[in-house]
Structure 1
Amino acid sequence: MKEFNPKVTSVNYSPLNIEIKDFEDYELFEKTSINENINSWIHIDPIDNKDAITRITSEYGVHSLIVEDVFSMSHRPKAEEFELYLFTLLKHVEYKNQELYFSQISFILGQKQLFSFGNGLPTRFETIKNRLNKKDSKIRKEGIDYLLLMLIDCIVDNYFIALEAIDEDIQNLEFEILSNPMKKNIQDIYRLKRILIDLKKNIWPMRELMNVLLKSDMIDYKYHIYGKDIYDHIIKSIDIIEGYGDSVSSLLDVYSSTLNTHMNETMKRLSIISTIFIPLSFITGYFGMNFKHQNTVLESQDIYYLSNGLMFLIPVVLFIFFKMKKW
């Protein structure tokens, strides 16, 4: 697979100034020196060139095993504290076209530097960049650890956007099942169950991740209130997922019940039709018998009108009877 040189976006800021630079080639970034007296957010994208990212991070004492974690897409969200930095790995979630998409984002927090790694900058991170551009922005007045919490908060908030879209799909599916159940509804139910399981699997470890951050010396105690707020949002999203899981499971019962109801309605209509035609079949069958002594009866004009009258009257009477019974 072809490796591309990662692009680097450097955001250096202080309460009074901000400088944003985009480097199309990481080698150009390597030639610049980071001012260690101001906060620096360095985003590296994409992360398919291992050698390039190893060169960038090695200058800041990042262990090679951490670089391995950055490249491994199979990891669950986690946080690990080291002597000089704090490593955080989590999943960004998007729900579109009725499918769930995960992208991995990793952070390495130093004393004044915050590195982020991902294939594409999440759209919601642009909100943070816009806030950094404002002179009176709280982010510019706080430490780099506060920026990390704000970025994590953006990722967690995105869970709720995905959950709202999933909730809409669940409601649409429920309406479809109640109005016109079809075989494909079963596939949709199991698709939603799989999506909720995958989502919970990637959000559940976020609780432990936040516990590690709140116990870390790299996160100032005055920012713990923001970390606890993120933790509460994580717990809330897990509760919502579990509630949606129960709703999706109940859709199987709704599907079976609705299908049985539709089948019963069909059988009832067929039974009504049969009930109407049984007397007619009896009359036509009786007078259609070819017995010798029956010919004298069939020659009677009164019998002819009587049989035709009965065949007309019986369906009308039965129809009125069924209507009165609201069948």
Structure 2
Amino acid sequence: MKLFPTAYSEPGTKPGTLADVKNGHYSLHMMSYTPASLTERPEIEPAACYSFIKDSDITWIHVQGAPDSATLRTLSQAFDIHELYLEDILNTGHRAKLEVNEVHAFVILSLPRFENKQIVTEQVCLFLSDHTVVSFCTGELDPFLLVRERIRKPTSKHRHRGGDYLAYTLIDTIVDHAFPVVETLAEDIQVLEDKLLEKPEKAIVQEIYFLMRQLLLLRRRLWPQRDIVSQLQRDDNLELLADDTRIYLRDCYDHCVNITELLETYHEIASGMLDIYLSNATHRLNEVMRVLTVISVLFIPPTFLVGVYGMNFDPGASSLNMPELASPYGYLFVWIAIVGMMGGMLIYFRKKRWF
């Protein structure tokens, strides 16, 4: 994930400025339905969408990819979308937010997914009015394919509920897309734990740091969504949502809380793994230093002994000048003394369990 994912207009430009995305591609899908009928247009021109809006129908228009400014302006005129909302749609990477007025509600959420073993977050914008839902999702993969399958069934709840239930379904789908990502992160943590306990290597630090970075950035993108869902279910002034739909939003809020708590827990586990690695590295260093210290201490008495007998005093000059140098067994006695001292210290160190 990028540290700075937010796109923005050049400083100094007027609010609502729309800059076309380079090499942008998009698709537009429309569904208009009642309990008895369904009209679906997989590829439809933006200008033709308005003709399907009826008071008795629920109309859902989904824009997948990076639409150009002309498409956004056409949809803006058809569905009365404010120019500031269009700017938010075009400049991706925004923090999750909710804006409500008397007739409209505008929601921005983040949808995480894996791409080439990297976590990427797509921005999803929802524009809700009385009978119409307009959704925008960045990226090439459409996350709402299963929602369309449910709408195509005449017995589904969507065909008998209003646009607020459709909006809830889209929000719930966005939130639930985080569970496979979190599950994959949990598996990565388990693999790193096994590596850390079996054979801690220096390369594992990079993997742990990369995992902590992903968890932290993902938490930053998903944490505000729990506040958005909570506001949707609790805001009594939001008349676009029916009371029975708010009950479903409570379940969606529980999912948001569960995801954020899992991310916090995994981040703490990853931080603990880093501490374990550092502790193991310190312990290994202490073990090496202890062995080297024991070896150094073993050679201190022999070093002192051979230093004494290396002073080269002449025994013939005085009877006090190292008379043992004239002994035929002096060399042997020195070795016996050296081996005895070193052996005695080894036995002592062993009893003390110093190595």
TM-score range (shorter-chain normalised) is 0.7 to 0.9
| 300 and 247 in structure 1: CA distance in 2 versus 1, 3 angstrom threshold | same
Counterpart secondary structure, 2:79: coil
Q: Does 1:227 align with 2:217?
A: no
- The sequence identity of aligned pairs, in percent, is 29
1:220 Cα deviation from its structure 2 partner:
1.7
1:104 Cα deviation from its structure 2 partner:
0.8
User: What is the number of equivalent residue pairs in this alignment?
Assistant: 323
Question: Deviation per CA, 1:132-154, whole angstroms, max 9, x where unpaired?
Answer: 44555444443332222122112
Tell me the C-alpha RMSD between the 2 structures. 3.6
The CA distance in 2 between the partners of 1:30 and 1:193, in whole Å, is 46
Instruction: Tell whether the 8 Å contact from 1:47 to 1:53 is kept in structure 2 after alignment.
Output: no
Alignment correspondent of 1:30:
47
Instruction: Tell whether the 8 Å contact from 1:11 to 1:19 is kept in structure 2 after alignment.
Output: yes
The CA distance in 1 between the partners of 2:257 and 2:302, in whole Å, is 68
Alignment correspondent of 1:282:
304
Alignment correspondent of 2:331:
304
| 96 and 261 in structure 1: CA distance in 2 versus 1, 3 angstrom threshold | farther
1:225-264 pair list within 5 angstroms: 225-247=247-269, 254=276, 257-264=279-286
Match of 1:157 among 172, 176, 182: 176
| 71 and 183 in structure 1: CA distance in 2 versus 1, 3 angstrom threshold | same
Structure 1: gaps of 5 or more residues: none
Counterpart secondary structure, 1:265: helix
Alignment correspondent of 2:352:
325
Instruction: Tell whether the 8 Å contact from 2:75 to 2:81 is kept in structure 1 after alignment.
Output: no
Structure 2: gaps of 5 or more residues: 1-20, 316-320
The CA distance in 1 between the partners of 2:68 and 2:215, in whole Å, is 32
Match of 1:8 among 17, 20, 28: 28
1:291 Cα deviation from its structure 2 partner:
2.7
1:171 Cα deviation from its structure 2 partner:
5.5
Question: Deviation per CA, 1:239-284, whole angstroms, max 9, x where unpaired?
Answer: 3344445445556654554443333222211111112222333344
**Residue type matched to 1:282 in 2?**
F
Q: Does 1:265 align with 2:287?
A: yes
Instruction: Tell whether the 8 Å contact from 2:99 to 2:106 is kept in structure 1 after alignment.
Output: yes
1:168 Cα deviation from its structure 2 partner:
4.7
| 48 and 292 in structure 1: CA distance in 2 versus 1, 3 angstrom threshold | farther
Q: Which has the larger helix fraction? A: 1
TM-score (norm 2): 0.74
1:315 Cα deviation from its structure 2 partner:
4.0
Match of 1:111 among 115, 130, 133: 130
Q: Which moved more, 1:4-13 or 1:41-50?
A: 4-13
TM-score (norm 1): 0.79
| 314 and 224 in structure 1: CA distance in 2 versus 1, 3 angstrom threshold | same
